[in-house]
Amino acid sequence: MNNLWDHTGAAGAGYAQPAPLVAESELNLATSLLRKEAPRWPRLSEPEMVRHYTNLSRRNFGIDTGFYPLGSCTMKHNPRVNEVIAQMPGICDVHPHQPEHHLQGLLAIFHEMQHMLAVCAGMDEVTLQPVAGAQGEFTAVRCIQEYFRERGEAQRTRIVVPDSAHGTNPASAAMAGFEIVEVPSTEDGRIDLQALEAVLDDTIAAMMITNPNTLGLFETDIAAASELVHGVGGQMYYDGANFNAIIGRTSPGLMGFDAVHYNLHKTFSQPHGGGGPGSGPIGVKAHLAPFLPGPVVDVRDAEAGERTVEAGRWFHWREPEHSIGKVQQWHGNAGAVLRCWAFYRRYGRDLRTMSEHAVLNANYLRHAIHREAKDAGVDHLFVDGARTDVAKHEFTLSMQPAKEALGVTAMDIAKGLLDMGYMAPTVYFPLVVPECLMIEPTETEAKDTLDRFAKDFVAVVGTDPATLHAAPVTTPVRRVDEVYAARNLCLRVPEDDL
């Protein structure tokens, strides 16, 4: 379709504005700095703009349009009332530097979220400042770094990461200045305690790990791993991207973790918006709490004359004693935290039921796929990514057999699924599973959808290789040439098209 620059309104077209408060001729402008040439932006009227973006959106796939089993991403439904709340003036038209008594409602919500997140994860304190999971990782690692500096253990310059870890784990640790020690997993995808023990010494600051792990398996040895790491004086860091699997059933605290980040946009359903925004709060045990970025929200007894939102309670900002400082200039993605607060309120203590349904749906789908595949006689074309009885909120399948037998890759299956009207599962991640498809249905998909997907998945697996290689054919464009993109970089509208 057209791009923006194909719209050719006359000069002055576009959004009409009220007159300036003072005529331009009377303004004392910095003449030597005046712009010589206007940005060569396109000129659209509102009708053209609305149609342009409407049609762009129609070339995009979201949870609202169909099943989105993207492993590790927790693509659950976004309750619609949350968007209504997020557009209220009490959030949109609020400045983070307003005095505390202007923001009691927001502070109350922050306080409630800090509390709830701490409770769910078994942590002592929480900051809501990081704006994404990766920033949360970085923040927690920075806290650990300062904690050790404070304790005079500056020699702890290394962080252990399993080979199946998400890329942000090593990237965040490296950004903070740590050296990465990668440990291999066992054959069935779980922690290799021996391999772990082998790398541990007093240069280790922390181990970063997610549980259930990237293959959707619960790390049954997690307590032992914690003990080992703690044994050499290191800290245990919990990547909360998979938190949706366990709320109310276990917690990072119970497993022995010292710090955790939450992907609010996953577990608590801030809409992903095609890549963001997110929110990545972190929770820590008491010994790390003084290092959290500030301010966090605290509460004290209200004084006479203070207009409270909760009788007798006054919410206020507090700077942690040895704070690492800030990772975002304001108070994080307050609008996202608010949506997630509304999400939390929808479940309350029944967050446990939510997690149970996430696990129920994943296991149900896994069973259904295997059953359908057996019935259709294509069960020899893929295997479980890891041997297990029960998965948690997601599971992996390896298309390695199909590749060997027919030359059909995980990517081919992914594109075939697009043609059936589904978003594809995560492909080729984790790298430890060859030809990996990683499937996470979430708790908000109906049984009927899972049944249908199982059937359709098996149908795609059974499709002839030539058709699969040519897939997709029903999408807005056919298979996109990523190599061409990288070789012929075109990152903006070409000069010739202006």
Partner 1 sequence: MVDQLPNLGREAEMLSAMGYTSMDDLFSDVPVDVRMQEDLPLRPSQTEEEIIADARRLLGANVPLGSMASFIGAGLYRNHVPAAVFQLVTRGEFLTAYTPYQAEVSQGMLQAMWEFQGLISELVGLPVANLSVYDGSSAAAEAITCAVRVHGRKATQKGVVYVSELVPPDRWSVIHNYTQGGGIELRKLRHLEDGTLDPASVAEAAGACAVYVEQPNPLGLLDASLVGVKDIVGEHTAFIVGVNPVSLGLYEAPGHYGADIVVGEGQPFGSPMTAGGPIYGIFACSNAYMRQMPGRIVGRTIDEDEQTAYCLTLSTREQHIRRHRATSNLCTNETLIALMGAMHMSLLGPEGVRALAVRNAAALHAVVDALQGVSGVELVHPDGHHFNEIAVRLPGTAADCITALEAHGVLPGFDLGRWSDDRADQLLVTATDQTRPEEIERLATAMAAWCAEVVA
Ligand X SMILES: Cc1ncc(COP(=O)(O)O)c(C=O)c1O
Pick one of 324, 399, 413, 432: the residue that binds partner 1 (CB under 8 A).
324
Q: Compute the least distance from the CB of residue 168 to ligand X, in Å.
A: 4
Q: At residue 309, what are phi and psi to the nearest 5 degrees? A: -100, -15
Residue 6 near which of ligand X, a second copy, partner 1, none (CB within 5-8 Å, type-dependent): a second copy
- 319 scored as a contact of partner 1 (CB under 8 A): no
Pick one of 65, 155, 186, 467: the residue that binds partner 1 (CB under 8 A).
65
Which stretch in 23-31, 128-136, 143-151, 189-197 sits in contact with ligand X by CB under 6 A? 128-136
Q: Compute the least distance from the CB of residue 484 to partner 1, in Å.
A: 5
Give the number of residues in contact with partner 1, rule: CB under 8 A: 211
Centre a 10 Å sphere on the Cβ of residue 334 and count the other Cβ atoms it contains: 21
Buried b (16+ CB within 10 A) or exposed e, 425-450: bbbebbebbebbbbbbbbbbbeeebb
Centre a 10 Å sphere on the Cβ of residue 394 and count the other Cβ atoms it contains: 33
Contact 223, 233 (CB under 8 A): no
Give the number of residues in contact with a second copy, rule: CB under 8 A: 25
Compute the distance between CA of residue 19 and CA of residue 325 in angstroms, rounded to an integer.
Answer: 42
Q: Is 454 exposed, middle or buried (0-12, 13-18, 19+ CB in 10 A)?
A: buried
Residue 156 near which of ligand X, partner 1, a second copy, none (CB within 5-8 Å, type-dependent): none
Cis peptide before 430 (omega within 30 of 0): yes
Residue 91 near which of ligand X, partner 1, a second copy, none (CB within 5-8 Å, type-dependent): partner 1
Pick one of 113, 123, 133, 440: the residue that binds partner 1 (CB under 8 A).
133
Residue 378 near which of partner 1, a second copy, ligand X, none (CB within 5-8 Å, type-dependent): none
Q: What is the dihedral of CA 239, 244, 246, 249, to 10 degrees?
A: 140
If phi > 0 it is left, if psi is from -120 to 50 it is alpha, else beta; for residue 325 that is left
> At 490, which amino acid appears?
C
Q: At residue 126, what are phi and psi to the nearest 5 degrees? A: -135, 140
Residue 301 near which of ligand X, a second copy, partner 1, none (CB within 5-8 Å, type-dependent): none
Centre a 10 Å sphere on the Cβ of residue 211 and count the other Cβ atoms it contains: 26
Pick one of 133, 170, 189, 271: the residue that binds ligand X (CB under 6 A).
133
Contact 164, 189 (CB under 8 A): yes
Pick one of 280, 281, 283, 385: the residue that binds ligand X (CB under 6 A).
280
Residue 72 near which of partner 1, a second copy, ligand X, none (CB within 5-8 Å, type-dependent): ligand X
What part of residues 178-217 is at the interface with ligand X (CB under 6 A)? Answer: 210
Which stretch in 74-82, 301-309, 380-388, 471-479 sits in contact with a second copy by CB under 8 A? 74-82
- 445 scored as a contact of a second copy (CB under 8 A): yes
What part of residues 352-381 is at the interface with partner 1 (CB under 8 A)? Answer: 352-354, 356-357, 359-361, 363-364, 367-368
Contact 79, 269 (CB under 8 A): yes
435 vs 440, beta carbon nearer ligand X: 440
What part of residues 280-309 is at the interface with partner 1 (CB under 8 A)? Answer: 280, 293, 307, 309
- 6 scored as a contact of a second copy (CB under 8 A): yes
Buried b (16+ CB within 10 A) or exposed e, 15-47: eeeeeeeeeeeeeeeeeeeeeeeeeeebebeee
Q: Compute the least distance from the CB of residue 255 to partner 1, in Å.
A: 5
State how beta strands 259-262 and 282-284 pair: antiparallel
Compute the distance between CA of residue 340 and CA of residue 72 in angstroms, rounded to an integer.
Answer: 18
Compute the distance between CA of residue 307 and CA of residue 425 in angstroms, rounded to an integer.
Answer: 50
Residue 157 near which of a second copy, ligand X, partner 1, none (CB within 5-8 Å, type-dependent): none
Residues that bind ligand X (CB under 6 A): 72-73, 132-134, 166, 168, 210, 239, 241, 263, 278, 280
Residues that bind a second copy (CB under 8 A): 6-9, 45-48, 50-51, 54-55, 58, 63-66, 76-77, 79-80, 444-446, 448
